[in-house]
Every structure is written in C-alpha cells, then in structure tokens.
Amino acid sequence: MVRDIQAKVLLSRVKGPDPWFGLYYNMNLYRGCQHRCIYCDSRSECYRIDGFDQEVLVKINAVELLRHELPRKRVRGTIGTGSMNDPYMPLERERRLTWRALGTIAEFGFPVHILTKSDLVLRDIDLLREVARVYAAVSFTITTADDALGKKLEPGASLVSERFAALAQLASQGIYTGIVLMPVLPFIEDTAENIAAIVERAHESGAAYIIPSFGMTLRDRQRAYYYARLDEHFPGLRQRYEQRYGERYGCRVPQAGRLEQHLQELCGRYGIPRWIEPYPPQPVQRARPAEPESPRQLPLL
C-alpha cells in the first residue's frame, strides 16, 4: 500500500561525526521500503515505523521542504539518503522524489551520499554528474555475490548482478561509487569464498571502495521478522543464532577477525580502499547584501 503524506521537516542533522560516510544531514523522502530485506534494522521498535513492510509513505512536499531548508543551512555538509529506506525502491520509478531532490541539491550546491540496492540509480546519472561538481558518492549494498541468495535476503531489490553492472556503469562515467559490505550475516554469508567473490567482482566493476562490517544487529521486532524468514529459507539456523547470540544486539560473525584479514589482503591486492573519502563540512559562504550607498553630502550652501 502507498499513502501520500505531508512532512514537517525533511533534513535532519546527523548526531555526532559519522565514521562511515561523513554524513552531516539525513534525508528520507519515503517512510517504509519496498525492498523487504529480511535483516532490515528499520523494523526495530525504536524507529516507530508500524507496518514497515505493508505500507510506504510518500512525502509529497519533500522537494518544497528541501527548497525551503537548503538556503537556510549554515554548513555545507553531505546529505545522506538510503539508511531508513531505499531512495530507488520501485515506487521511485513513478514518483520521482529522489530525482527531483537531486535536482534541487545540485542547484544549491550540496554534497550527497546515496546508499542503494537498486540499478534505478542509473536513470539519474546526468543529475549525479551535476551534484558531483561539489561531491556525489553512490554506494551499493552488496553482501553476497550470488543472485539466488540475494533474492532470498533482499527480495524486492535489484539482483546483485544488476547492482554490479550499475556500479560499473557509474564508475565508467566518472561517478565516485563503491560497495557497502554490510551486514555480513552469520552462518550465511561469512565465508572466505563469498568475501573473495565480492571483492573480485568489485574490482572488475571499478569500485572505488569497499566498506565492510562483519556481523549484523538484531533487536525486538527486527529479530522476530528475521527469525521467521530464517525458518522459511534456512531451517535450523534460528537455533544456532539463539544459542550464540541470545538477546544480543551486536552479532559479530564467529570468524570476523579472519575474514577482516582476508578482505584486507584482497583489497590490498587490487588497491581498493576500505573507506570512503568523505566531503569535509564547511561553512556556507553567502553573498553579502550590497552595502547601502553612502549618503551624499549635501552641498554646502
């Protein structure tokens, strides 16, 4: 189901320095997500998005808000989109909120980081080039190199092979683009073969970075949803999770250190950094209002 809503504010300030992408503002044009990733953290109760998988809310006044908010910002910092929903979910094809927002961001000269699992981002390549005059980075979340497994884990998203192809196309057009390799799901994706396959295809596609994290988070209703999908697709695995992680929030994969080392070696071999070059936030220089003309001296009588 899709419902239009009016939002009050669009950009929110990121609390504290963001160690992953150097984000300064967050922008969510939608609420809810059609990609239905089985591990999605946005289902957690703390975000209060009821019916996350049943309904997507469309902020129909988002671009008007952006036009109002951007000229009032004192800091030109990176606007991140894609953490609570995917800005290129299927609905974007017809609603074009991301497309319109990028046009506005380009007009006001702000930097952007996009996180997505969709090749629809290719539609906006010309706009991304304009935004990139200041700064644009497009990160694809890729946690397996296998299309069939990806379809089980991220049923509504583009196939993994389509994401690699999109990455290759963006890279060939000079857009700064790379891979976010997280979450790495315990007992499913935490193999040396999977990590090697991702790095090799990242290299072939021209990825400029790979940002990894070897584990996942689990809490309240996100955990309940994830375990129900494990029962469906990976019978018996829930019990292993329960034994190893109990009620824990942070769930690192058992061989995290070894896999980190493996990734480091592979990235070293191909010269791929494991971090992104962020845009440093800076004060917005506004044109000073013109000085009023100095009053003319009255001619002495």
Provide, rounded to whole angstroms, the least separation between the CB of residue 183 and ligand SF4.
9
Smallest distance from the beta carbon of 260 to ligand SF4, in angstroms?
22
Return the structure tokens found at 132. Answer: 């990139």
Neighbours of 45 (CB within 10 A): 11
Shortest spacing between CB 85 and ligand SF4, in angstroms: 5
**CB 42 to ligand SF4: min, Å:** 5
**Least distance from C-beta 213 to ligand SF4, angstroms?**
13
Of 7 and 196, CB closest to ligand SF4? 7
- Strand partners of residue 16: none
* In the complex, minimum distance from the CB of residue 144 to ligand SF4, in angstroms, rounded to a whole number: 14
Nearer to ligand SF4, 52 or 279 (CB): 52
Three state DSSP letters for 129-165:
HHHCCCCEEEEEECCCCCHHHHHHHCCCCCCHHHHHH
Instruction: Tell me the C-alpha distance between 145 and 197, whole Å.
Output: 6
In this complex, which beta carbon is closest to ligand SF4, that of residue 148 or of residue 301? Answer: 148
Structure tokens at 202: 């990242």
Q: How many residues in total does the chain contain?
A: 301
**Structure tokens of 75?**
């800091």
What is the side-by-side order of every strand in the sheet holding 30-31?
A: 2-5, 56-59, 30-31
Taking the least distance from each CB to ligand SF4, the nearer of 42 and 78 is 42
Q: Evaluate whether 79 touches 11 at the Cβ level (below 8 Å).
A: yes
- Residues making contact with ligand SF4 (CB under 6 A): 33, 35-37, 40, 42, 84-86, 117, 154
Q: Which CB atom, from 38 or from 128, has the smaller least distance to ligand SF4?
A: 38
Instruction: Rank residues 76 and 222 by Cβ distance to ligand SF4 and give the closer one.
Output: 222
